[in-house]
């Protein structure tokens, strides 16, 4: 992988976020953030393609390394058997084949380790660039909100300035509207006070009547009037019962 590509990725990862945000706010535009996002996304695509390619190479190199290593191990066992059989010429030829297989296996192993390290670097760079890109996109929305707020404040300031320039115009109309609003408020307050006063009077009347009834009841009890009234009621009830009995007796005689 070309060193310049990694340098470009490293530059994007280490980009000064605060500086970009300050520049965006100073220029009242998120163009600098948009440019960073564009470059980061383009390089992220290239980084993804490179990572896929290198991972494919890693698998190929590992497979070749394992293949030559297995062949070398098999030849190594053959050499021992040939020597045990006294076949030194064949053993020497097999040893030469073993050396070739072993050297190729070792070469592919070293290439596999280098490419694996490259793939790890690419994967780490991709993760960091993705994280940085998400952060920049989030800050872009934040900056847009700040710029919109600043624009709103500018509009408000211009509006206030326009009102200041119209000072004294239409004061009579404004005064009439204000008086009308105050009159409505005063009327509502008066109505509320009347209703509150009426309710208070009703409560006072009920409470006053209750107090008088309580006082009269206590006085009647003290004078024994309640007992006399009770006796009179019982006498009246007895008289009514006697009349009913006489009436029943007369009916029976008939």
pLDDT along the chain (254 residues), means of 10: 75 83 83 90 91 94 96 93 90 92 95 94 91 87 81 64 48 48 53 57 62 70 68 58 49 46
Are 132 and 12 in contact by the 8 Å Cβ rule? The answer is yes
Closest CA to 137 of 34, 24, 18, 19: 34
Measure the CA–CA gap between 48 and 40, rounded to whole angstroms.
12
Q: In the 8-state DSSP scheme, what is residue 147?
A: H
Three-state SS at 187: helix
Residue 21: the pLDDT is 81
Measure the CA–CA gap between 144 and 150, rounded to whole angstroms.
10
**Residue 143, Cα to own-chain centre: how many angstroms?**
19
The residue ranges of every structural domain in the chain are 3-165, 190-220, 224-254
pLDDT tens, residue by residue, 169-202: 444 544 454 454 455 545 645 654 565 566 556 6
Residue 60: the pLDDT is 95
Measure the CA–CA gap between 185 and 179, rounded to whole angstroms.
10
pTM over 0.75: no
Residue 227: the pLDDT is 63
pLDDT tens, residue by residue, 75-114: 999 999 999 988 889 999 999 999 999 999 999 999 999 9
Residue 179: the pLDDT is 52
Residue 27: the pLDDT is 84
């Amino acid at each position: 992988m070309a060193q310049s590509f990694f340098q470009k990725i490293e530059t994007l990862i280490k980009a000064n976020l605060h500086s970009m945000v300050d520049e965006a706010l100073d220029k009242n535009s998120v163009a600098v953030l948009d440019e960073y996002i564009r470059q980061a996304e383009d390089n992220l695509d290239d980084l993804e393609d490179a990572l896929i390619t290198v991972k494919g190479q890693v698998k190929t190199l590992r497979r070749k390394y394992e293949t030559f290593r297995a062949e070398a191990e098999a030849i190594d066992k053959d050499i021992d058997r040939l020597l045990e059989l006294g076949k030194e010429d064949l053993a020497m030829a097999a040893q030469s084949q073993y050396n070739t297989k072993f050297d190729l296996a070792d070469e592919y192993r070293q290439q596999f380790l280098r490419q694996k390290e490259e793939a790890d670097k690419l994967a780490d760079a991709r993760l960091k660039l993705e994280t940085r890109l998400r952060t920049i996109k989030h800050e872009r929305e934040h900056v847009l909100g700040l710029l919109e707020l600043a624009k709103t404040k500018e509009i408000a300031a211009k509006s206030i300035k326009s009102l200041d320039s119209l000072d004294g115009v239409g004061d009579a109309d404004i005064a009439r509207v204000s008086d009308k609003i105050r009159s409505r408020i005063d009327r509502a307050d008066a109505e509320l006070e009347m209703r509150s006063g009426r309710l208070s009077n009703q409560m006072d009347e009920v409470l006053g009547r209750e107090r008088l009834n309580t006082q009269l009841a206590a006085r009647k009890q003290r004078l024994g009037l309640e007992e006399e009234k009770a006796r009179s009621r019982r006498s009246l009830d007895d008289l009514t019962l006697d009349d009913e009995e006489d009436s029943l007796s007369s009916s029976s005689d008939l």
